[in-house]
Structure 1
Amino acid sequence: MPEIGRIVKVLRGKDEGDFAIIIGIVDDRFVLIADGDKRRFDQPKKKNAMHLLMQPVVSHEVTDSMRETGRVTNAKLRFAIQKYVQGKGE
């Protein structure tokens, strides 16, 4: 189930194979994703949730920042993705 702060792998589109983080939920079908690099927080990508592979990790730094201020820095998004990818060994 999509939730803010969850790390996802893009399965379709030109970003296929990249990791991103859910920063918003539009409705039960679409979410907003950003990676802090190509897709910044202020210009997130609207993506069909069925085109995303939900990873078993939720970034608590991103979740807490979104809850407290309603936004998150691009550096924090990049750091969370980098930490996950290095821990996974890809």
Structure 2
Amino acid sequence: MDSTSDITVGQVVKSRAGRDKGNIFLVLDIIDDKYLYVVDGDIRKLDNPKKKKVKHLIIYNTIVPELKEKIENGTKINNAYIRKLLEPFKIKL
């Protein structure tokens, strides 16, 4: 699966390669069909999102609709909010 057609903003992903292997992120933006911007609110903050190749990510079916809405509406979000959204996933996954 090397296509972003089934990936959306606010989706939960896990890094499977690189220095951040095993970390859980949220998709902040989709660059093109190979690259995404991901954030975790901790190491990768909103002002410095990580550019990741789709093939280096495990894509989960979980989407955080509140984040997607806030980004689409241009609502200000902060890193603490991102960390709070990711909290339940760090325990489960």
- What residue in structure 2 maps to residue 57 of structure 1? 62
RMSD of the alignment, in Å? 1.4
TM-score w.r.t. length of structure 1: 0.89
- The one-letter code sitting in structure 2 at the alignment partner of 1:39 is R
* Unaligned runs of at least 5 residues, structure 2: 1-5
Q: Which runs of 4+ in 1 moved over 6 A?
A: none
The amino acid that maps onto 2:58 is L
Partner Cα distance (1:70, 1:25) in 2? 18
Matched, 1:10 2:33: no
Report how many residues are paired.
Answer: 88
Q: Is the 8 A contact 1:2 1:49 kept in 2?
A: no
Instruction: Kindly state the Cα deviation for residue 61 of structure 1 after the two structures are TM-superposed.
Output: 1.7
TM-score by length of 2: 0.87
Matched residue of 2:86: which SS?
A: helix
CA distance in 2, matches of 1:83, 1:13: 23
Number of the residue aligned with 2:41 = 36
Q: Which residue of 2 aligns with 1:74?
A: 79
Partner amino acid, structure 2, of 1:42: D
Could you report, residue by residue, the CA deviation over 1:63-82 in whole angstroms, capped at 9, with x for unpaired residues? Answer: 11101116532112111111
* Structure 1 residue ranges without an equivalent (≥5): none
Shifted more, 49-58 versus 62-71: the winner is 62-71
Q: Distance in 1 between matches of 2:7 and 2:66?
A: 17
